[in-house]
Amino acid sequence: MSAATLTTAPRTRRNLLRDIRIVLVRELAPVARDPFSVLFGLVQPLVFLGLFGPLLAGSAGEALGGDVWLWFVPAVLAMTTLFGTSVTGSNLQLDISSGVHERMLVTPLSRSAQLVGRALKEMVPIVAQSVVVLLVMLPFGLRPDPLGAALTLAQLAVLGVGVGSLSYALALAVRKQEWMFWMVQQTVLFPVMLLSGMLLPLENGPAWMRAASAVNPLRYVVDSGRAAFAGDVASAAVGWGWLAALATAAVGLAVGVRSMLRSAD
Amino acid sequence: MIRTNALTKDFVVSRTRTVHAVRGISLDIQPGELVAVLGPNGAGKTTTLRMLTTLVPPTSGTATVAGYDVVADPARVRAAIGYVGQGGAGGASQVVRDELVAQGEIYGLDRRAARTRAGELLEALDLTEQADRKVDSLSGGQKRRLDVAVGLVHEPTLLFLDEPSTGLDPHNRANLWEHVLRMRTAAAEPRTIVLTTHYLDEADTFAERVVVVDHGQVIADDTADALKADLAGDLVSLRTPAADVTALAALAERAPGTRAVHAGPPGPDGGRAVEVRTADGPGAAPGLLRAADAAGLTVTRVDVARPTLDDVFLGLTGRSLRETAVQDADSPAASPTDPTTTKEVLA
């Protein structure tokens, strides 16, 4: 052991941003080394676009006002975000059962940073997958407003940070009964998805469904994406979408950090 | 380096059931000591270690580690100690070198210093060839060496190892120990090492001090040699024909230094071994033989066995550590008094 490396005394005051960066870089390293791993998350959106999109065009095309892709592609991007980030807690479950999480808890690394860094990492696959979906759909006639599409990706990235944080919080909450993770995730996922008006318009649903969807943040993000793709970048729908995405991120991070702070015992 | 006072930890399992995993452990460990905490699974070893490493807060009592209180100042404790847990430290999809670099950065090294340090540790722990491989492609022994490397990145003066060699084959265990002992003396001042184990031979061979824990309490604390001399003693077996067994046993009872005498099971020739627990076996054997000769008793064979730590544990608790160690999990749920676990041990 050379003494040359013993330069830095243990820090007691932590730089939170530096800690978040350390966690983020470490979490992204496997993705960066194997970029094709993000393609795995594309199977589901492409199936929906290929097998559900034509049905939608045939059965509800006129009700949607012309361009089915402008209506459906933003919803599929939101779906990809929801599915991809709601399962990310299982990565933390792996780290809990393997001992990696415990290793981190014994280091001076800030516990908040351990959650925030992991949550921020979710943005990368969301944006990468969305870009691929958009490129795939261009030859099929998708022509979104470029600024609207870019803003939608950013909004989904923010939403993903929130959903990802909640997924981590769930993994931490059920760390003593791992199977509970999937039960809760599936139980929440499908109602949230269907009550967002992602697959079929909610306007034709019963009043109680419309009422339920009013408290579903995902619904506002989906509506915002549709308005933005159509070029209504400055519309109220986009504003509500941002509010819903930011609120989800704020709540998610708060709940996630709280869970992380209590995750040792 | 470590001082605990009446440390306890209770886990509330349900409204009606609380497991007292640790029931008042007081320890004083000096800088440079190599201490093995030995005990069956469920004895409270891991829970004690988790309190000392700030992972769980004690229910009561105090603990000062590397000069700081584990409850009042966990951040300083974390900065000072190294920890190798029961699980693996390396993320399965991470590259070996990256994990060491990340760990160095966590402890405040800049990226360049962290890379240099990672290189040194890879070399020191024989992992240079595996440096650019993913963690999940490593063998069990290589993974464990990586765990130790991760725990040593910041040159801690105090290193905790929780069951470091569990699951490794004898060759890999020896290899890991070689590295741990070398890393201990490689530091400017000898590192303090505290490890838990349920391997008797490991505590016996490597530790300078053995703390025996059972049912959440320290039941013995000394060097392995002193424990064996004080609590078990040597075993002298005198083989004798059936007719002489009673007389020889009575004679052995009266011999100086004798602590206990048992008659072993009959052998194929009908003879039996009279087993004499005594403070100094090699010293007692000639006297026993002369006395037997003088009394006209026949001794056909003599064995002198040094005690093992299992004899110590047996002497302390009436149970054999080898049997109790069959239990799998060191989890608080596996209460030592739980009748179901006892049954499994007996089966």
Fold designation for B2-228: Rossmann fold (3.40.50)
Structure-model confidence comparison of residues A20 and B341, the more confident one = A20
Domain range list for chain B: 2-228, 234-305
- Predicted model pTM: 0.84
pLDDT in tens, A209-248: 999 999 999 999 999 999 999 999 999 999 999 999 999 9
pLDDT in tens, B261-311: 888 888 877 788 898 988 888 889 999 999 999 999 999 999 998 887 878
Whether the CB of A176 is below 8 Å from some CB of chain B: the reply is no
Angle, CA of B197, B203 and B207, to the nearest 5°: 120
B124 vs A1, A4, A105: nearest CB = A1
Residues from chain B that touch A105, judged by Cβ atoms under 8 A, are: 55
pLDDT in tens, A117-130: 999 999 999 999 99
Place domain B234-305 in its CATH homologous superfamily: ACT domain (3.30.70.260)
A95 vs B91, B102, B150: nearest CB = B91
Q: Which residue has the tokens 């999940």?
A: B136
Distance CA B18, CA B44 (A): 14
| Residue B184 pLDDT greater than 70, yes or no | yes
Distance CA B331, CA B52 (A): 17
> Is B106–A103 a contact, with Cβ atoms under 8 angstroms apart?
no
| Residue B105 pLDDT greater than 90, yes or no | yes
Banded pLDDT at B323 (limits 50, 70, 90): low
pLDDT of residue B199: 79
Banded pLDDT at A258 (limits 50, 70, 90): very high
Q: Which residue has the tokens 């994406």?
A: A225
Residues from chain A that touch B109, judged by Cβ atoms under 8 A, are: 5, 7-8
pLDDT of residue B328: 39
Distance from the B96 Cα atom to the nearest Cα atom in chain A, whole angstroms: 12
pLDDT of residue B145: 92
**CB hemisphere CA count around B310 (13 angstroms):** 11
- Using an 8 Å Cβ cutoff, are B139 and B131 in contact? no
Length of chain B: 347
Q: Which residues contact B258 (CB under 8 A, 6 or more apart)?
A: B252, B276, B277, B278, B284
Q: Which amino acid is at A74?
A: P
pLDDT of residue A5: 41
Give chain B's contact residues with A (Cβ, < 8 Å). 50, 53-57, 75-76, 78-81, 83, 85-95, 98, 102-103, 105-109, 113, 116-117, 120, 124, 147, 150, 154-155, 186-188
| Residue B339 pLDDT greater than 70, yes or no | no
Interface test with B, best of A14, A37, A98, A121 (most B CBs within 10 A): A98
Smallest CA-to-CA distance from B276 within B310, B307, B316 is with B307
pLDDT in tens, B252-270: 988 888 888 888 888 877 7
pLDDT in tens, B9-48: 998 888 888 889 999 999 999 999 999 998 888 889 999 9
**CB hemisphere CA count around B61 (13 angstroms):** 22
